Structure 1
Amino acid sequence: MLGHDIRAAISDILGGLALADLSVLDPTSRLQLQRVQSSAEQLVRLTDETLALVTGDDSPRADPPVQTSLGPFLDRIAARWHAHAGARGLGFCLDRADDLPTAIGTDPAALERILSNMIANAVKYSPVGEVRLRVHLGPQEALCLRVRDTGPGFSEAAMARLFDFAGRPEDSGQPGTGLGLHIVRDLAQRIRGQIQVANAAEGGAEVSLILPRRAWAPGIEAPSAAADLPDLGGCSVLVAEDNPTNRLLVQQMLETLGAEVTLVEDGEEAAEALADRRFDLVLVDIEMPRLSGIDVIRRLRAAEGDGPASPVLAITAFVLSANRDQIYDAGADGILAKPILSLDAFGEAIARVLTKRTAPLSGTTTGVPFDPVHLDRLLALAGPEDGRELLRRMREDFGTVKGGLAEGQARGDLALIRSRTHVLISLAGALGNVALQAEAEALNAAALTQDRATVAGLLPRVMQAVDALRTAIGGELDTRFAAEAAG
């Protein structure tokens, strides 16, 4: 509940800033508000990590691979730290190369924490001059982010204990415990990067984060369909949200996407609106007066019965796995955590929900039954040799799934069907085929409840989709590892 309240409060701050017209302000005031916005976004991410640490709720979530627009990300970093450095009488300079990628597949929360610690140290130890962040591509297209200061540099004693927990030498005379670089190193390892530290020849220290291409690039060359903002022209959307700021922010973003928006302020109004008509998309806040968002979703799904189901996106400040499981169990198709940090994140969440309800099992908008972003990232994580073996095993697993489903169909063995769909749910999710994943979940649930009519209706479609995926993975094996496959 504390995490929910923190996120809800920050959501109001960020929503208010998003709705404000900062262009009419003087440059100093605009810079300060941009700094507040950047810090609030970072506070959201730190809140999530703190909750996970305290509760032990660190289970992975079925989110798509991360894509971060590098230019806007660096602009936010510069806006935030220009103000911090200026308050100490220092300059801050962002120096970026012309050949940087437009997007990277790196977790922005971890990247921002790393840079924040690096820049904060540089600002702290520079009595005069400026702090410079240089971003460029190094050898073999490694992404290099270098922070240089005009301070005294690292002493030999400090250099020897640089990454230790609380590693600052006792006689250093500097404030703090030296925890920053210890955090930086751990975060860098999490995103498969390296930290390099040196004293510059002309004075000052230089701390660099080096991200090899395999760490920042997977899937970026072939973005998924969800990376493009959905066109909601002609779509009717119900928004149930009790907070006026969030309600207005969501309305503006939906209208930007072309939607026709109906607004309600509590759960009872939402239930009444859904009883009166069908909407193309429903956005429901979970914590609402009179009737909770979960109860609204349950009523909607009960009323729909076996008929067409409206896509439902739950918007919530509850982020723990237990909360998410409860929301999905009620019938939500997707969850978007508050605060909503960008139109891109909002559009991607809507695109995933719409895809889950409407996409054909046999393929995606790319013409193949998997998301290239997901596959590229899996192969990049595995490496060249293990990547070849990964594709082979996936092809074999899809063959095993299909064979088991066929045998279960022939024998009427619901336990076998459940066993194979359990595997299929993971496989389809790993490859980004959310439509097949949803059908596999439905088939698994039908087998569990002994609903043979539903099983009989779903099985042929699921088996056809599995066969298409197995064929496509075999094609990828032949294309990516042609010489080995031929042998």
Structure 2
Amino acid sequence: MPFPDDATGSASHKSRRKRAAMLGHDMRAAISDILGGLALSDLSSLDPDSRRQLQRVESAAEQLARLTDETLALVTGETEKRGAPAHHSRLGPFLSRISARWQAHAEERGLGFRLELGEDLPGTIGTDAAALERILSNLISNAVKYSGAGTVTLRVHMGPKEALCLHVIDTGPGFSDAAISQLFEFAGRPADNSIPGTGLGLHIVRELSQRIRGQLQVENVRGGGAKVSLVLPRTAWAPGVEAPGRFDDLPDLSGCPVLLAEDNETNQLLIRQMLETLGADCTLVSDGQAAAEALETGQYGLALIDIEMPRLSGIDVIRRLRTGQGPCNSIPVLAVTAFVLSANRDQIYAAGADGILAKPIMSLEAFGEAISRVLSKRVCRGCGPRVREDAPFDRVHLDRLLALAGPDRGLELLTRMREDFHTVRKGLEEGCTKGDTAMIRARTHVLISLAGAIGNESLLARAEQLNGAARRQMPVDYISLCPPVMRQIGVLCDALSAEAASRYGELAS
């Protein structure tokens, strides 16, 4: 049960909440060391069995990190933040990690484990990867538990209407009539079941499937065994359909001078390796005082600041940076921390951080996405190009808008959208020429909405950068950002006219 709210809870409850937050920090830090050490290890020289066991440990540690977050949220009363950006996952590596983990489990019980992949699978999915991993882990765990011999199979393929289908098939006795009647119920195990267990697995699977908008199907296989299927409609798995992500590609930090302030040696090696993979020129300091002094030079385009450091905390480093004078106080800052509860986040953002990256760092993709979001808010001087040029519009988004408008008003919608983009472009040109930041902010506010509606993620990111530069009264930034934004708008207007001509035989005026 969560603790009472701070406003009404007793002192002892507040003390327990604080202690839970501190324990959560130390738990995440320990898991971060495990994952960091595994990520930095060269497993290629190991024999296949040893390599597989370490991959299994890595996969389990990643899931433990996610479960730690969820458990702490329940214990402390934290609520899940709605509307948070979706985290895209590469499906192939995700399934390979699942396979590596459960192959070892199956072999321990004398079973085989097989991963069967269809040829037309998507490269990236927008589904909550933590929830999907828990679903598959529970299903595979049950399959391994009930199969006395044979092979457990995870089969993934595309079904009708672009549905993503994931099947877990075992060679056990199948579901009895008693089990079917209580399927998915809390602790819904038949009384005569002789195999140890609580019966919570399928109940958890059902709740998680509903969370990610999936459909569960259960059947007994002819000849023996059971098959449990998770079917994800396109709207549940496709990136950008219902919960659009903004950064599909890793950011390009070529030539960008980055300051990394981190005192843990494992994290130093891991984060530095990731930054160099992205092309950054990385300078490392290991305490807060050294970080503050380095930032005062104004030579860095991006800073990654650990919150818990000796001599000076990361929050004090960020606060000192933001209250300083000169161009250095506008450096994009990504805070790195094992404290993830809302009170900690609020304190870090209040100090002036542009984003927060929680330890342990789960992947290069998550690391790159966190940096991309920070760089969408502030201009990084010295960095190479970051924003990928999208197609002028996403056809799924445009088709949906035209469907909502109806067959008789499609041309009117395209014409109005083109006029709105033209008005925004004219206003931005005037605002940048006159240095009118209020006009720039007003026009970029409209542009953010328009670019999001048609799925142009790079224009959306640039509009947010431009809006932030105008809000901070930074002429150097907004003057440099205006030309590429206006060029993109021009390309988009031409594309809308061509689309109107193609669909309706008329140009959008």
Q: TM-score, normalised by structure 2?
A: 0.76
Other-structure match for 1:185: 206
2:389 to 361, 366, 377: 366
1:335 is aligned to 2:356: yes
* Cα shift readout 1:206-240 (whole Å, capped 9, x = no counterpart): 101111122212339xx977322233222211110
1:124 is aligned to 2:151: no
The separation in 1 between residues aligned to 2:318 and 2:91, in whole angstroms, is 37
1:170 is aligned to 2:191: yes
Relative to structure 1, the CA distance from residue 440 to residue 193 in structure 2 (aligned partners, 3 Å threshold; closer, same or farther) is same
**Within-5 A mapping of 1:59-208:** 59-60=81-82, 62-63=84-85, 65-208=86-229
Shift of 1:419: 11
Shift of 1:287: 1.4
* Cα shift readout 1:255-275 (whole Å, capped 9, x = no counterpart): 222222111111111111112
Shift of 1:62: 3.9
* Cα shift readout 1:78-132 (whole Å, capped 9, x = no counterpart): 1000111111111111111222222222111111011000000001111111111
2:284 to 252, 256, 263: 263
**Within-5 A mapping of 1:255-404:** 255-305=276-326, 309-358=330-379, 365-366=388-389
Shift of 1:476: 7.3
Shift of 1:24: 1.3
Relative to structure 1, the CA distance from residue 484 to residue 48 in structure 2 (aligned partners, 3 Å threshold; closer, same or farther) is farther
The separation in 2 between residues aligned to 1:252 and 1:203, in whole angstroms, is 49
1:231 is aligned to 2:252: yes
Relative to structure 1, the CA distance from residue 429 to residue 39 in structure 2 (aligned partners, 3 Å threshold; closer, same or farther) is farther
Other-structure match for 1:218: 239
Relative to structure 1, the CA distance from residue 76 to residue 364 in structure 2 (aligned partners, 3 Å threshold; closer, same or farther) is closer
Which amino acid in structure 1 is aligned with residue 280 of structure 2? Answer: A
The separation in 1 between residues aligned to 2:498 and 2:189, in whole angstroms, is 54
The separation in 1 between residues aligned to 2:133 and 2:346, in whole angstroms, is 29
Shift of 1:386: 5.8
- Contact kept in structure 2, 1:225 and 1:366, CA below 8 Å: no
Which amino acid in structure 2 is aligned with residue 67 of structure 1? Answer: H
Relative to structure 1, the CA distance from residue 246 to residue 306 in structure 2 (aligned partners, 3 Å threshold; closer, same or farther) is closer
1:4 is aligned to 2:22: no
- Contact kept in structure 1, 2:331 and 2:380, CA below 8 Å: no
* Cα shift readout 1:385-420 (whole Å, capped 9, x = no counterpart): 66979x98x97xx99x99xx99xx9xxxxx9x9999
* Cα shift readout 1:415-449 (whole Å, capped 9, x = no counterpart): 9x999999998888887634544665787x88xxx
Which amino acid in structure 2 is aligned with residue 80 of structure 1? Answer: R
- Contact kept in structure 1, 2:298 and 2:327, CA below 8 Å: no
The separation in 1 between residues aligned to 2:468 and 2:496, in whole angstroms, is 26
Shift of 1:280: 1.4
Q: TM-score, normalised by structure 1?
A: 0.79
Relative to structure 1, the CA distance from residue 422 to residue 253 in structure 2 (aligned partners, 3 Å threshold; closer, same or farther) is closer
Gapped regions of structure 1 (runs ≥ 5): 410-414, 447-452
2:64 to 31, 43, 49: 43
* Cα shift readout 1:347-382 (whole Å, capped 9, x = no counterpart): 22223322332399xx96436798x5xx96x899x8
**Partner secondary structure for residue 149 of structure 2:** coil
Other-structure match for 2:79: 57
Other-structure match for 1:412: none
**Percent of aligned positions with the same letter in both sequences?**
60
2:261 to 240, 251, 267: 240
Which amino acid in structure 1 is aligned with residue 291 of structure 2? Answer: A
* Cα shift readout 1:34-83 (whole Å, capped 9, x = no counterpart): 000000000111112222223232123643x3321111111101100011
Relative to structure 1, the CA distance from residue 289 to residue 40 in structure 2 (aligned partners, 3 Å threshold; closer, same or farther) is same
- Contact kept in structure 1, 2:260 and 2:305, CA below 8 Å: yes
Relative to structure 1, the CA distance from residue 164 to residue 62 in structure 2 (aligned partners, 3 Å threshold; closer, same or farther) is closer
The separation in 2 between residues aligned to 1:200 and 1:182, in whole angstroms, is 21
- Contact kept in structure 2, 1:225 and 1:365, CA below 8 Å: no
Gapped regions of structure 2 (runs ≥ 5): 1-20, 432-437
Which amino acid in structure 2 is aligned with residue 59 of structure 1? Answer: K
Which amino acid in structure 1 is aligned with residue 27 of structure 2? Answer: I
- Contact kept in structure 2, 1:59 and 1:321, CA below 8 Å: no
Which amino acid in structure 2 is aligned with residue 60 of structure 1? Answer: R
The separation in 1 between residues aligned to 2:499 and 2:74, in whole angstroms, is 43
The separation in 1 between residues aligned to 2:452 and 2:353, in whole angstroms, is 17
* Cα shift readout 1:261-306 (whole Å, capped 9, x = no counterpart): 1111111111111123421111111111221111111111122456
- Contact kept in structure 1, 2:444 and 2:463, CA below 8 Å: no
Other-structure match for 2:11: none
**Partner secondary structure for residue 158 of structure 1:** helix
**Partner secondary structure for residue 174 of structure 2:** coil
**Partner secondary structure for residue 343 of structure 2:** helix
